[in-house]
Amino acid sequence: PELSEEPPAEMVKMTKSKTFQAYLPNCHRTYSCIHCRAHLANHDELISKAIPLFFFSRVNVGCGPAEERVLLTGLHAVADIYCENCKTTLGWKYEHAFESSQKYKEGKFIIELAHMIKDNGWE
């Protein structure tokens, strides 16, 4: 049988939808993507000031598939995170920690300092 160049009539053409940004309140100190200035995290959600920064939650950040990686603190299942606006990889999310002493990291996010800037209310 001959292959057709035309897609079947029942297929729907997918188009890229517009990404809508979430904005954090102006009264709080925030971190934004250094590349596009989309808000990423509220300073109040900061867990650790170590480099890179460790957060409970984030906005305007997508998450890729999890994979196992050996990090300085042992084996973890992590997923790369990226800015939803400009698609720059920002850091990673801890999906699973294999060592019991590292379980507190599960579900939390690392955003590298090189990819963010301080906004709103910093002195």
pLDDT at 49: 67
CA 115 to chain CA mean position, Å: 11
Q: Which amino acid is present at 22?
A: A
Of 83, 36, 86, nearest in space to 61 by CA? 83
In what helix (H) or strand (E) does residue 105 lie, and over which residues does it extend? none
Highest mean pLDDT among 28-32, 85-89, 113-117: 85-89
pLDDT at 78: 97
Of 27, 88, 79, 95, nearest in space to 60 by CA? 88
**Rounded average pLDDT over 70-78:** 95
Average pLDDT, the chain: 78
Interatomic CA distance for residues 34 and 38, integer angstroms: 8
pTM of the complete model: 0.70
Band (62; pLDDT cuts 50, 70, 90): very high
